[in-house]
Amino acid sequence: MPKESYIPSLLTLFRQYGYDGATLSKISEATGLGKASLYHHFPGGKDDMVESVLCYSASWLQENVLSLLTAEGAPEDRLQTMCDRVNELYAGGTQPCLLAILQSGTGQDLRHDQIKVTLAAWLEAIVAVLKEAGWDDEIAQQRGEDALITIQGAVMVSFTLDNPAIFQRVMQTLPQTLLQQP
């Protein structure tokens, strides 16, 4: 099988165990590949696997969130569609954020720039929608940052407390909150 076919299993594994907890034994079990085959597909080892997972995640975000934010339509509708897709990404608040998990542990410096680019692109797309909705640059930037903080905080709290209703509520109300006049 091609290397790409193992990425979903690796994503799940890194999401569950993080970089340090995803041992080669666990990776081998999750992918069904022996250690030699893992290194054949991912010559750089675990770092190569994480890079592949991050590229996959960035592509998913581009295709399923950013492209929707930059599409035609009312700002509130586009923000709601973003929230719907993010709700799917985090399985309704029952799955942690891969980017947050990979931002800690061994080798975080190696992943920081790639994660930063992904989040910056997401922030930029939200800010563009908010500007289109009539907010000035400064307020749009602040609200875009607040949106990411709210999403990431809600997924962490929901996952940790085993209460997906928290995340789902935030995903339902975030578009109106972002567009609400003070």
Cβ contact 158:94 at 8 Å: yes
C-alpha to C-alpha distance for 145 and 86, rounded to whole angstroms: 16
Q: How distant, in Å, are the alpha carbons of 28, 79, 178 from that of 83?
A: 34, 6, 12
Residue-level pLDDT at 100: 87
Q: Average pLDDT in the 77-95 region? A: 96
Cβ contact 151:170 at 8 Å: yes
Cβ contact 116:99 at 8 Å: no
Q: Average pLDDT in the 49-69 region? A: 95
Q: What is the pLDDT of residues 119-176, one digit of tens each?
A: 999 999 999 999 999 999 999 999 999 999 999 999 999 999 999 999 999 999 999 9
Domains of the chain: 47-179 (1.10.357.10)
State pTM to two decimals.
0.90
Cβ contact 49:42 at 8 Å: yes
